[in-house]
Amino acid sequence: MLELTHTTKTHDESRQGEALEMVATGKSNGRKLYIESYGCQMNFSDSEIVASILTDQGFETTKDYKEADVVFINTCSIRENAEQRVRNRLKEFESAKAKNPGMIVGVLGCMAERLKSKFLEEEKLVDVVVGPDAYRDLPNLIDKVDDGSKAVNVLLSREETYADISPVRLNSNGVSAFISIMRGCDNMCSFCVVPFTRGRERSRDPQSIVKEATYLFHAGYREVTLLGQNVDSYKYTPVVEEGKETSATVNFANLLALVADVSPELRVRFSTSHPKDITDEVLYTMARYENICKYIHLPVQSGNSRVLELMNRTYDREWYIDRVDAIRRIIPECGISTDVITGFCTETEDEHQETLSMMDYVKYDFAYMFAYSERPGTLAAKRYEDDVPEEVKKRRLTEVVNKQQEHSLYRVQNFVGKTHKVLIEGFSKRSDQDYCGRNDQNTMVVFPVDPRYKVGQYVHVLGESCTSATLIGRIID
């Protein structure tokens, strides 16, 4: 869950700073706003854009949906259980609305696009439905609801990137921030709804990305994560104006270097990479810059080539292994995480074993692991029968989870006895006597508070022990 809070700092070092200051100090309209986000990092980033648009319209924010005038839930359609959670949450909002008839309840994001008629007409749970490309229209849509109408805008765009909007950093630790570098997706993975809910791929102007990173650095942030459904396919070609010399096309490797050059004290992360698009140029750029974190999220989904073809992943087992070998060769210390789907349509036991053998080959630092859940409207739902029994899917998922736990422990154990540069992100969840932060490879590190150092500073931590998910150590000079 993500809640809005008034923790945004304002600065005037740049036009972005001025824009954010205008948002933070804009005249109140006397109404309160509450947002919850589910799903991927892109959804959380989008909520920051929504907050900026509506705060600029005079909305104040609240942590308690029961006292809000406008309640939004930013949704995810990737898995069925996510949709069920959203429906359950909307029913809770419905109870609050019964006590406050003027409350507006809205659904944003991927579910909004896919289930607009169900929400508005069949279940009557919401007043406004807004897709990922229509957030600029929110003030107008809210006005329509105020006038007694239901409101919907789920039109997809080939141009919208929200590049000119300065996001309001929600529940920010003041240290780490997301920067959206592109929107949409042109990959048509057969299991995925994203191309249908977020539209075609388009890349944001690199100058606006660098400007946002620069502003964040001057505002005290020390880490940015560049976000896209497939960051490796980032490609910005400037529009040629008559009589002017055009700039060169910027690819993802170029963009990484531009952001890393903002300051050697600004850490750069990114997500997500696609195995078919990640290039040696990107890897060499990562190796060249100390402040680009040595960590890549590289979803495999399956270790079997036939299943990958059914998934329309456009690479096979051998290609994926080649990309992993390139990472290990060019960035030997790089951490690699992944996504795994078990029980995809027609997957056999031998093909499942190939996924397990791929895990043994790579030994991922971390993995997101799921049993296949058919999503309506996807290519897989139209073309293939979801014929693997649920008990088989779950058993295979358990085997994948157990193997990943072994590999995660193996990876973290390799960090014990070594010194790591860690950015202090805050206090440990378990104790305010410990700080926490992540090393280059994205592993969480916990270590005792040292009064000489504060949140937002870099420290060197010697790893002394670990669990399968956490490195435990102490600051050394």
Domains delineated in the chain: 15-153 (3.40.50.12160), 176-235+248-413 (3.80.30.20), 419-476 (2.40.50.140)
Q: What is the Cα–Cα distance from 297 to 367, expressed in whole angstroms? A: 9
Burial 338-373 (b: 16+ CB within 10 A, else e): bebbbbbbebeeebbebbbebbeebbbbbbebbbbb
The reported pLDDT for the residue numbered 24 is 41
The reported pLDDT for the residue numbered 8 is 28
Average pLDDT over residues 226-255: 86
Tokens matching residue 218: 């001057």
Tokens matching residue 460: 């060197």
Q: What is the Cα–Cα distance from 358 to 400, expressed in whole angstroms? A: 11
221, 177 contact by CB (below 8 A): yes
Contacts of 152 (CB under 8 A, 6+ apart): 116, 120, 128, 129, 130, 141
- Nearest by Cα to 196 from 376, 386, 385: 376
Q: Does residue 20 carry a pLDDT above 60?
A: no
369, 397 contact by CB (below 8 A): yes
Q: Any idea which of 3-7, 261-265, 351-355 has the lowest mean pLDDT? A: 3-7
Q: What percent of the chain has pLDDT over 90?
A: 68
Tokens matching residue 256: 């990484």
Tokens matching residue 124: 């009557």
Q: Quick check: bond before 398 cis, omega within 30?
A: no
pLDDT digits (tens, 9 = 90+) for 354-379: 999 999 999 999 999 999 999 888 99
> CA 433 → CA 21, 72, 425, 464, distances in Å?
34, 36, 14, 17
Please tell me the number of Cα atoms within 13 Å of 298 on its side-chain side: 29
Q: What is the Cα–Cα distance from 80 to 129, expressed in whole angstroms? A: 19
Q: What is the Cα–Cα distance from 144 to 152, expressed in whole angstroms? A: 10
Q: Any idea which of 45-59, 301-315, 358-372 has the lowest mean pLDDT? A: 45-59
Residue 11: alpha-carbon gap to chain centroid: 26
Residue 10's pLDDT band (boundaries 50, 70, 90)?
very low
Average pLDDT over residues 422-427: 97
Q: What is the Cα–Cα distance from 101 to 107, expressed in whole angstroms? A: 18
Give DSSP secondary structure letters for 345-411: TT--HHHHHHHHHHHHHH--SEEEEEE----TTSHHHHHS---S-HHHHHHHHHHHHHHHHHHHHHH
Q: Any idea which of 4-18, 51-65, 155-169, 410-424 has the lowest mean pLDDT? A: 4-18
195, 33 contact by CB (below 8 A): no
Q: Does residue 25 carry a pLDDT above 50?
A: no
> Any bridge partners for residue 45, and if so which?
none
Name residue, tokens 């620069």. Answer: 214
Residue 21's pLDDT band (boundaries 50, 70, 90)?
very low
Q: What is the Cα–Cα distance from 226 to 216, expressed in whole angstroms? A: 13
pLDDT digits (tens, 9 = 90+) for 175-210: 999 999 999 999 999 999 888 888 899 999 999 999
The reported pLDDT for the residue numbered 244 is 64
pLDDT digits (tens, 9 = 90+) for 115-150: 777 777 755 778 999 988 899 999 999 999 999 988
Residue 169's pLDDT band (boundaries 50, 70, 90)?
confident
Average pLDDT over residues 242-268: 89
Long-range contacts of 146-149 (CB under 8 A, 24+ apart): 146/104
The reported pLDDT for the residue numbered 306 is 98
Mean of pLDDT over the chain = 89
pLDDT digits (tens, 9 = 90+) for 85-99: 888 888 889 888 888
- According to the per-residue pLDDT averaged within each range, which of 64-78, 161-175, 195-209, 315-329 is highest? 315-329
Q: What is the Cα–Cα distance from 209 to 56, expressed in whole angstroms? A: 21
The reported pLDDT for the residue numbered 375 is 87
Q: Any idea which of 70-79, 298-307, 380-389, 414-423 has the lowest mean pLDDT? A: 70-79
Q: What are phi and psi of 328, to 5 degrees?
A: -65, -30
134, 156 contact by CB (below 8 A): no
The reported pLDDT for the residue numbered 166 is 82
Residue 6's pLDDT band (boundaries 50, 70, 90)?
very low
Rg of the chain, C-alpha, whole Å: 23
For the chain, the helix, strand and coil percentages under 3-state DSSP, each to the nearest 5: 35, 20, 40
Average pLDDT over residues 100-124: 79
Q: What is the Cα–Cα distance from 450 to 447, expressed in whole angstroms? A: 9
Total-model pTM: 0.85
180, 45 contact by CB (below 8 A): yes
The reported pLDDT for the residue numbered 13 is 32
The reported pLDDT for the residue numbered 44 is 84
Please tell me the number of Cα atoms within 13 Å of 355 on its side-chain side: 31
Residue 78's pLDDT band (boundaries 50, 70, 90)?
low
